[in-house]
């Protein structure tokens, strides 16, 4: 197997569109095209066990449908506690741009993947965690991987779950991290609360999945409103 090193890094992601918006859990070509049409920066394809899991074949169909668009979102493959070699093989087959590691991956495993693809590493902190502890956890990974190859996705903590819970997390801790890192905020975001989240946290990006669904199915109307509302506030602090 030949592993390909992608040309993208995080400096290439929609620098003039604040914040970056990732629509995750896309499983249909028409929903991917809708996300692209409304200005999503990234489309998340879940390869971990989930009701939103996609096959490599579906991922390839989505990638092919996006080819040639004037605005082409970057494809992010979402994995949970998978071996790096297996992750990289799927990323290569599907033509992914980025990898998201949403499990208990070690800094060494993240570094191994980041040598081939830029990585989003999900971090989840229980309620009541101190900002020092949260920063210490992020620094374990940052010590091995530079910023252009690694961003942190701050998701909601729930025992035994690895995302997609639809629950809002601790925006205060996320805001503390956003002062040090360019983070993506996830967890319970909806068209109704995303503008406030951007204002309070000032993240580099936001991530949504269940918040753009009706009855468990992605809704193009909600995708459009979410992206518009996410970008109505430009309080990003560093820009």
Burial class (CB in 10 A: 0-12, 13-18, 19+), 193: middle
- Active-site entry in 24, 97, 170, 207: 24
- Cα 236 to Cα 15, 16, 25, 48, 200: the distances in Å are 12, 12, 26, 31, 9
Closest alpha carbon to 122 in 8, 205, 53, 201: 205
Q: Is 60 one of the annotated active-site residues of the chain? A: no
- Active-site entry in 97, 113, 155, 170: 155
- Tell whether omega for the bond before 215 is within 30 degrees of 0, i.e. cis: no
Q: Is 155 one of the annotated active-site residues of the chain? A: yes
Cβ-Cβ contacts under 8 Å for 60 (sequence gap 6 or more): 93, 94, 95
Burial class (CB in 10 A: 0-12, 13-18, 19+), 160: exposed
List active site positions.
24, 155
């Amino acid at each position: 197997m030949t592993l390909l090193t992608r040309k993208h890094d995080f400096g290439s992601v929609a620098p003039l569109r604040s914040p970056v918006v990732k629509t995750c859990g896309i499983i249909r070509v028409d929903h991917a095209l809708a996300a692209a049409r409304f200005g999503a920066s990234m489309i998340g394809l879940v390869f971990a066990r989930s009701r939103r899991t996609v096959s490599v074949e579906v991922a390839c169909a989505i990638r092919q449908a996006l080819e040639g668009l004037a605005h082409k979102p970057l494809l992010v493959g979402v994995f949970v506690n998978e071996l790096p070699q297996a992750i990289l093989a799927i990323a290569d087959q599907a033509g992914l741009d980025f990898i998201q590691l949403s499990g208990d991956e070690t800094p060494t495993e993240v570094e191994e993947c980041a040598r081939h693809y830029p990585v989003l590493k999900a971090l989840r902190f229980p309620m009541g965690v101190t900002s020092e502890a949260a920063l210490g956890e992020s620094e374990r990974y940052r010590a091995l991987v530079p910023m252009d190859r690694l961003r942190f996705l701050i998701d909601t903590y729930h025992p035994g779950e690895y995302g997609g819970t639809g629950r809002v997390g601790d925006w205060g801790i996320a805001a503390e991290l956003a002062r040090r890192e360019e983070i993506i905020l996830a967890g319970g975001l909806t068209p109704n609360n995303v503008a406030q989240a951007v204002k309070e946290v000032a993240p580099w990006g936001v991530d949504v999945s269940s918040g753009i669904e009706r009855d468990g199915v992605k809704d193009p109307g909600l995708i459009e409103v979410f992206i518009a509302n996410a970008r109505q506030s430009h309080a990003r602090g560093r820009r």
